[in-house]
């Protein structure tokens, strides 16, 4: 026992040192992330089942505009990469889990619906040259889910009315209460869909999602620098492409500059041949 105890203590000390080094790989929470955290507190009373139901309805709106890619192998692959990063996000579990899918559209875009449904277009997928860059795009969207950015776009007064109508509808099965609640819920769907498709979640939310994506990639074993290489290509595309993600997000050059600041001091990672081969095998 006398020999085992010192070895155990040494092992524990090494684990503690590794944990501290890992947690210090990136700077502490930025101002944008702290603001998002305050917004999360404001929507804490929205239940996860409600968030899930709302997210499914929002995703249905997106799928009405963009059909799914008819390639089961590609859909499975994107789901596997998405699940890998979602498990390492700040919200690894949601009500009924995360779901990822590829949309048949040349427009570069991605959508993070409340509750964990994440959709990426083939147009954005084509910008990715490696699995790490795909993971970076999906980690950014998973951060929107973790931060509940979709819920935060709903007018607070409207969501309060939804909860009030639900209580009344539970007490009165008949009458116009159910219709009133359905109308309010429809309004909430419109709030989120309009934000995702036309306005975007805003600069604060996008910058906070980029910062969390870096941490998520690091924890998942992917190269955090892949977010910077993907954004660099987006900067070039943005010069001629004005649709999709470029219409709803802050200027990509500003996002890239902030990401590069976060990456300073981190050692570069060697390419992963297995991941690169998996990516090349997909019909993108």
pLDDT tens profile 71-85: 999 999 999 999 999
- Residue 217: closest CA among 96, 115, 84, 98: 84
Count of structural domains within the chain: 1
Nearest-5° angle of CA 211, CA 228, CA 117?
A: 55
pLDDT digits (tens, 9 = 90+) for 180-215: 545 656 878 888 888 888 888 989 999 999 999 999
According to DSSP, the β-strands at 117-121 and 110-113 are antiparallel
Please name the residue ranges forming H helices in 48-148.
Answer: 48-65, 72-86, 122-127, 131-146
Asked if the model's pLDDT at residue 171 lies above 60, the reply is no
Q: Is residue 108 part of a domain?
A: yes
Q: Is residue 80 part of a domain?
A: yes
Q: Domain span at residue 90?
A: 28-153+191-280
Q: Is residue 208 part of a domain?
A: yes
Q: Is residue 88 part of a domain?
A: yes
Asked if the model's pLDDT at residue 5 lies above 50, the reply is no
Q: Is residue 38 part of a domain?
A: yes
- Which pLDDT does position 255 carry in this prediction? 97
Q: Is residue 127 part of a domain?
A: yes
The mean per-residue pLDDT over the stretch 127-146 comes to 97
User: What residue ranges in the chain does DSSP mark as E strands?
Assistant: 99-103, 110-113, 117-121
Asked if the model's pLDDT at residue 13 lies above 60, the reply is no
- DSSP 3-state assignment of 123? helix
- Which pLDDT does position 15 carry in this prediction? 34
Q: Is residue 130 part of a domain?
A: yes
Q: Is residue 182 part of a domain?
A: no
pTM of the model: 0.81
């Amino acid at each position: 026992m006398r020999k085992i105890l010192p070895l155990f203590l040494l092992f524990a000390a090494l684990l503690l040192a590794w944990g501290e080094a890992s947690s210090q790989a990136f700077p502490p929470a930025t101002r944008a992330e702290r603001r998002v955290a305050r917004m999360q507190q404001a929507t804490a009373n929205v239940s996860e089942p409600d968030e899930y139901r709302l997210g499914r309805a929002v995703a249905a709106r997106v799928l009405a505009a963009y059909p799914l890619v008819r390639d089961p192998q590609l859909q499975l692959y994107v789901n596997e990469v998405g699940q890998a990063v979602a498990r390492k996000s700040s919200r690894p579990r949601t009500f009924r889990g995360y779901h990822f899918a590829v949309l048949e559209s040349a427009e570069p875009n991605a959508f993070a619906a409340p509750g964990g449904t994440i959709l990426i277009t083939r147009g954005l997928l084509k910008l990715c040259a490696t699995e790490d860059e795909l993971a970076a795009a999906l980690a950014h969207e998973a951060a929107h889910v973790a931060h509940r950015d979709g819920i935060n776009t709903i007018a607070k007064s409207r969501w309060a009315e939804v909860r009030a109508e639900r209580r009344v509808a539970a007490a009165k099965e008949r009458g116009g209460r159910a219709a009133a609640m359905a109308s309010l819920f429809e309004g909430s769907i419109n709030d989120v869909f309009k934000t995702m498709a036309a306005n975007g979640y805003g600069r604060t939310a996008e910058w906070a999602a980029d910062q969390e994506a870096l941490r998520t990639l690091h924890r998942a074993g992917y190269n955090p620098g892949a977010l910077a290489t993907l954004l660099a290509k987006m900067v070039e595309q943005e010069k001629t492409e004005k649709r999709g993600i470029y219409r709803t997000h802050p200027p990509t050059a500003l996002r890239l500059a902030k990401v590069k600041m976060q990456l300073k001091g981190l050692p570069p990672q060697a390419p992963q041949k297995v991941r690169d081969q998996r990516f090349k095998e997909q019909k993108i």
